Structure 1
């Protein structure tokens, strides 16, 4: 079992690795991978393409390592916990696993980043008590100081060229709350549709029409219809009987936004897949899987969920 920051054995360990260049990245990741293999622990390496290639070339072909391009698997940060990390941990139930996950890199947009920071904070809650060590690399040279400050707050253990130590700034709940902010108003023209139970079929047609105009292919239109219908149906059943759907286009995305009177009080809502025999709790997880970005603002006064689907080109 991996020792904790004080030398004690911890079931779940979440470390932030801070590197300045490729050499420091490899110095922090390759021994982590090879140490896991020596210990007989399954290893997942999920990093954006260039870094993934560096580590894979350094490790070489090795049984027991799964490689994933985080730029694809984690392009929606809300997809990473259920569909990347939890999926790997559950696949190896009863065994300790090691994971390298790099969800934040210099190419992440300002729109994506709040979901990334919340993701890193929620890992601690999602996997408490699980037999796993997750190491998250951070590019000190390429990321802003406020991003690094959030990393200190979301990782209980810090690793750099000075060694391994507890983070004095660890406060993941503060990060979750700090990014639970009203979403910025769109700069583009907005089309809106109020819906209730009897008008749910109109929601699918509304979304399909805007998806086609935005240039989404048929499969992506279908995905967006499923995601929006999941949210709208949840509004009808649990959030006052209805809500408002708004749609607009940016240069990169078709954006669909659902507003209703419900409250997602659990910050892990949509971030963990329910047990196979579980009832309910699947809607938001499905939404995270289907969309390229999901942003959420939720308080006792109501909830806004904003879905982004990349437009071709």
Structure 2
């Protein structure tokens, strides 16, 4: 069993559709379990183009399921593999489409790099599409770094810049944008502070206009990460919140060092206690960025709110 992780560079809709559907048809003919994971309106396009094999192909909206790139491995790829035990799986997807922000792009490529580690011993083929016309050169260079081979003009080419998955993922462990001068901060140091952490986040998120269900999700995610601080670092941490355009941002900082690059990407065994905090944060939030060093770790959680800029 082995992983075949490919990138597809396309320059127009014809190359996109023919490259992806050709891959799907070959996988179906080989008897693979096949998933098409593409953003929004493209799902309907692929359903139409693959009408003759729709009964044996699964589809998912990557703009929803992969809104946060950190949940694609556990929530899309591993979930699909688990639903088809004993079968080879083939997945076509587009996790970094034109329109992804500069803040999201490193998270997308960290995800792509870690695919190579998580699926190294799995019988899986994953084809990832990249718009070579609308994505800039630095983005395409990162695609070459995170895929062992690329398909260009219909020809498979080995990547000379492909890097070790863990080293490639570490490249995207980047410092995060700073908080504005006017923001609220709450420090916590003991389990008895967690209730106050939850109230602090909920109150500020409500003032910023976040919907009630979104507040509940954010509070749950923050509580999990703050609790991890107390359990794993032997010290306390701090929560900082602010509104930024159409997003509500929550930062959790502590003195711990997150040394496992796969943390939050692989669901732990049901027999294992703990290990779900970052996984849950990825599941609940629209974007999670992490910057970790031996001096401390910063988690930055983003929730789309449809709110105005911070005052």
TM over 0.5: yes
Separation in structure 1 between the aligned mates of residue 189 and residue 81 of structure 2, nearest angstrom: 39
With structure 2 as the length reference, what TM-score do the two structures score? 0.94
Please, which of 174, 178, 185 is the counterpart of residue 178 of structure 2?
185
The match for 1:225 is: 219
Which whole-Å CA distance do the structure 2 matches of 1:148 and 1:109 have between them? 15
Q: Aligned match of 1:155 in 138, 147, 150?
A: 147
| Among candidates 33, 39, 61, match of residue 24 of structure 2 | 33
- The answer for the alignment partner of 1:195 in structure 2 is 188
Does residue 306 of structure 2 align to residue 312 of structure 1? yes
Corresponding residue pairs, total: 304
Gaps of 5+ in 2: none
Q: CA deviation at 1:283?
A: 1.2
Q: How big is the shift at 1:162? A: 4.8
Contact map agreement 1:188 1:248 (CA 8 A) in 2: no
In the other structure, the counterpart of 1:299 is: 293
Aligned partner of 1:213 among 207, 217, 236: 207
Q: Is the 8 A contact 1:112 1:293 kept in 2?
A: yes
Deviation at residue 188 of structure 1 after TM alignment: 5.8
Distance 2:246 2:266 in 1: 28
Aligned equivalents of 2:161, 2:40: Cα separation in 1: 30
Contact 1:150 1:175 (C-alpha < 8 Å) held by counterparts: no
Instruction: Identify the range of structure 1 (224-233 vs 194-203) with the bigger mean alpha-carbon deviation.
Output: 194-203
Superposition pairs of residues 133-144 of structure 1, within 5 angstroms? 133-144=125-136
Q: Match for residue 15 of structure 1?
A: 6
Structure 1 residue 239 corresponds to structure 2 residue 233: yes
- The answer to which of 240-249 and 50-59 deviates more is 50-59
Q: Please tell me the root mean square deviation across aligned C-alpha atoms, in Å.
A: 1.4
Normalising to structure 1: TM-score of the pair?
0.94
Alignment of 1:5-154 (within 5 A): 11-60=2-51, 62-154=54-146
How far has the Cα of 1:34 moved from its partner?
1.2
Unaligned runs of 5+ in 1: 1-9
CA distance in 2, matches of 1:187, 1:303: 19
- CA distance in structure 2 between the aligned counterparts of 1:224 and 1:164, rounded to whole angstroms: 43
